[in-house]
Amino acid sequence: MVLSIVKYPDPVLTTPARVVENFATHELRQLVANMFESMYAANGVGLAAPQIGLSRRLTVIDCSVGEDPAQQLVLANPEIIRREGKQTGEEGCLSIPGFRADVVRAMTVTVRAQNVDGEWFETSGSELLARAIQHETDHLNGILFISHLSTLKRDLIKRKIRKLQKDGEW
Protein backbone atom coordinates (compact mmCIF):
# COMPACT_ATOMS: atom_id res chain seq x y z
CA MET A 1 0.00 0.00 0.00
CA VAL A 2 1.36 3.40 -0.99
CA LEU A 3 1.22 5.75 1.99
CA SER A 4 1.09 9.52 1.65
CA ILE A 5 4.29 11.34 2.50
CA VAL A 6 4.24 14.05 5.14
CA LYS A 7 5.70 17.38 4.07
CA TYR A 8 7.71 20.01 5.91
CA PRO A 9 6.79 21.80 8.23
CA ASP A 10 4.73 18.97 9.80
CA PRO A 11 6.04 18.73 13.40
CA VAL A 12 6.42 14.92 13.17
CA LEU A 13 9.43 15.63 10.92
CA THR A 14 11.21 17.80 13.47
CA THR A 15 10.52 15.63 16.53
CA PRO A 16 12.92 12.82 17.57
CA ALA A 17 11.18 9.53 16.78
CA ARG A 18 10.31 6.81 19.32
CA VAL A 19 12.28 3.60 19.70
CA VAL A 20 10.96 0.52 17.86
CA GLU A 21 10.15 -2.08 20.54
CA ASN A 22 8.05 -4.78 18.88
CA PHE A 23 9.88 -6.99 16.38
CA ALA A 24 9.07 -10.04 14.25
CA THR A 25 5.43 -8.97 14.07
CA HIS A 26 3.12 -8.99 11.08
CA GLU A 27 2.54 -5.27 11.66
CA LEU A 28 6.24 -4.39 11.42
CA ARG A 29 6.74 -6.50 8.27
CA GLN A 30 3.68 -4.91 6.67
CA LEU A 31 4.87 -1.43 7.65
CA VAL A 32 8.30 -2.07 6.12
CA ALA A 33 6.72 -3.42 2.90
CA ASN A 34 4.47 -0.34 2.69
CA MET A 35 7.43 1.96 3.28
CA PHE A 36 9.41 0.36 0.42
CA GLU A 37 6.35 0.57 -1.86
CA SER A 38 5.77 4.23 -0.95
CA MET A 39 9.46 5.07 -1.43
CA TYR A 40 9.54 3.44 -4.89
CA ALA A 41 6.30 5.17 -5.88
CA ALA A 42 8.02 8.48 -5.07
CA ASN A 43 11.31 7.47 -6.76
CA GLY A 44 13.25 7.87 -3.53
CA VAL A 45 16.33 6.05 -2.24
CA GLY A 46 15.34 6.35 1.41
CA LEU A 47 12.25 6.81 3.56
CA ALA A 48 11.97 7.24 7.32
CA ALA A 49 8.86 6.41 9.37
CA PRO A 50 8.25 10.06 10.45
CA GLN A 51 7.81 10.83 6.73
CA ILE A 52 4.64 8.74 6.73
CA GLY A 53 3.54 10.43 9.95
CA LEU A 54 4.75 7.67 12.25
CA SER A 55 7.15 8.60 15.05
CA ARG A 56 9.30 5.43 15.02
CA ARG A 57 13.04 4.93 14.65
CA LEU A 58 12.64 2.96 11.45
CA THR A 59 13.93 3.63 7.94
CA VAL A 60 14.19 1.84 4.61
CA ILE A 61 16.90 2.50 2.03
CA ASP A 62 17.48 1.22 -1.51
CA CYS A 63 20.02 3.06 -3.64
CA SER A 64 18.99 0.95 -6.67
CA VAL A 65 15.38 2.32 -6.39
CA GLY A 66 13.91 -1.18 -6.72
CA GLU A 67 16.26 -2.50 -9.42
CA ASP A 68 18.30 -4.77 -7.13
CA PRO A 69 16.57 -6.50 -4.15
CA ALA A 70 20.01 -7.15 -2.60
CA GLN A 71 20.34 -3.41 -1.96
CA GLN A 72 17.23 -3.20 0.25
CA LEU A 73 18.20 -2.09 3.72
CA VAL A 74 15.91 -1.91 6.76
CA LEU A 75 17.30 -0.06 9.78
CA ALA A 76 15.43 -0.08 13.08
CA ASN A 77 16.85 1.97 15.94
CA PRO A 78 19.98 2.81 13.88
CA GLU A 79 23.03 4.50 15.29
CA ILE A 80 25.98 5.64 13.22
CA ILE A 81 29.05 4.33 15.02
CA ARG A 82 31.79 5.39 12.57
CA ARG A 83 32.21 8.24 10.09
CA GLU A 84 35.16 8.63 7.73
CA GLY A 85 36.08 11.19 5.09
CA LYS A 86 33.90 13.84 3.52
CA GLN A 87 31.70 14.20 0.43
CA THR A 88 29.76 17.15 -0.90
CA GLY A 89 26.79 16.45 -3.12
CA GLU A 90 23.28 17.50 -4.00
CA GLU A 91 20.59 16.19 -1.71
CA GLY A 92 16.83 16.32 -1.66
CA CYS A 93 14.04 14.93 0.51
CA LEU A 94 10.61 13.49 -0.32
CA SER A 95 9.22 15.68 2.49
CA ILE A 96 10.64 18.85 0.88
CA PRO A 97 9.79 18.15 -2.77
CA GLY A 98 11.29 20.34 -5.46
CA PHE A 99 14.21 21.61 -3.40
CA ARG A 100 17.77 20.34 -3.64
CA ALA A 101 21.01 21.66 -2.20
CA ASP A 102 24.62 20.65 -1.65
CA VAL A 103 25.15 18.97 1.72
CA VAL A 104 28.50 17.93 3.23
CA ARG A 105 28.36 14.39 4.63
CA ALA A 106 30.84 11.74 5.72
CA MET A 107 32.11 9.69 2.74
CA THR A 108 31.84 6.35 4.58
CA VAL A 109 29.75 5.39 7.59
CA THR A 110 29.17 2.29 9.68
CA VAL A 111 25.73 1.94 11.21
CA ARG A 112 24.51 -0.39 13.95
CA ALA A 113 20.82 -1.25 13.77
CA GLN A 114 18.18 -3.93 14.31
CA ASN A 115 16.43 -5.84 11.50
CA VAL A 116 12.69 -6.67 11.43
CA ASP A 117 13.36 -9.65 13.70
CA GLY A 118 15.10 -7.43 16.26
CA GLU A 119 18.57 -8.82 15.56
CA TRP A 120 21.40 -6.30 15.83
CA PHE A 121 23.79 -5.97 12.89
CA GLU A 122 26.39 -3.59 11.54
CA THR A 123 26.79 -2.45 7.96
CA SER A 124 28.98 0.06 6.16
CA GLY A 125 28.43 2.18 3.09
CA SER A 126 30.15 4.84 1.03
CA GLU A 127 29.12 7.63 -1.33
CA LEU A 128 25.34 7.54 -2.07
CA LEU A 129 24.63 4.77 0.44
CA ALA A 130 26.54 6.65 3.17
CA ARG A 131 24.62 9.81 2.27
CA ALA A 132 21.28 7.96 2.48
CA ILE A 133 22.16 6.37 5.84
CA GLN A 134 23.10 9.78 7.28
CA HIS A 135 20.05 11.54 5.79
CA GLU A 136 17.62 8.87 7.06
CA THR A 137 19.22 8.56 10.50
CA ASP A 138 18.92 12.36 10.77
CA HIS A 139 15.17 12.04 10.08
CA LEU A 140 14.81 9.79 13.14
CA ASN A 141 16.42 12.54 15.21
CA GLY A 142 14.06 15.17 13.82
CA ILE A 143 16.74 16.68 11.58
CA LEU A 144 16.10 17.59 7.93
CA PHE A 145 18.75 18.17 5.27
CA ILE A 146 18.00 21.90 5.29
CA SER A 147 19.36 21.97 8.86
CA HIS A 148 22.81 21.38 7.34
CA LEU A 149 22.60 24.43 5.04
CA SER A 150 23.71 27.97 5.80
CA THR A 151 21.06 30.13 7.49
CA LEU A 152 20.81 32.14 4.28
CA LYS A 153 20.08 29.11 2.07
CA ARG A 154 17.73 27.55 4.63
CA ASP A 155 15.72 30.76 5.05
CA LEU A 156 15.43 31.11 1.27
CA ILE A 157 13.93 27.59 1.00
CA LYS A 158 11.60 28.23 3.97
CA ARG A 159 10.42 31.48 2.38
CA LYS A 160 9.72 29.76 -0.94
CA ILE A 161 7.75 27.02 0.87
CA ARG A 162 5.69 29.61 2.74
CA LYS A 163 4.86 31.26 -0.59
CA LEU A 164 3.86 27.87 -2.09
CA GLN A 165 1.68 27.22 0.98
CA LYS A 166 0.03 30.62 0.60
CA ASP A 167 -0.67 29.87 -3.07
CA GLY A 168 -2.12 26.45 -2.14
CA GLU A 169 0.62 24.66 -4.06
CA TRP A 170 2.30 22.82 -1.15
Q: Which residues are catalytic?
A: 136
Q: Which is nearer to Ni ion, 53 or 117 (CB)?
A: 53
SS (H, E, C) 79-138: EEEEEECCEEEEECCCCCCCCCEEEEECCEEEEEEECCCCCEEEEEEEHHHHHHHHHHHH
- 20 is a site residue for Ni ion (CB under 5 A): no
Binding segment for Ni ion (CB under 5 A), chosen from 13-21, 31-39, 60-68, 85-93, is 85-93
Shortest approach of Ni ion to residue 51 CB, angstroms? 6
Q: Which is nearer to Ni ion, 23 or 170 (CB)?
A: 170
CA dist., res. 147 & res. 32, Å (int): 27
89-108: contacts with Ni ion (CB under 5 A)? 93
CA dist., res. 7 & res. 4, Å (int): 9
x-or-dash string of contact with Ni ion, 41-80, rule CB under 5 A:
----------------------------------------
CA dist., res. 138 & res. 48, Å (int): 9
Contact residues for Ni ion, defined by CB under 5 A: 93
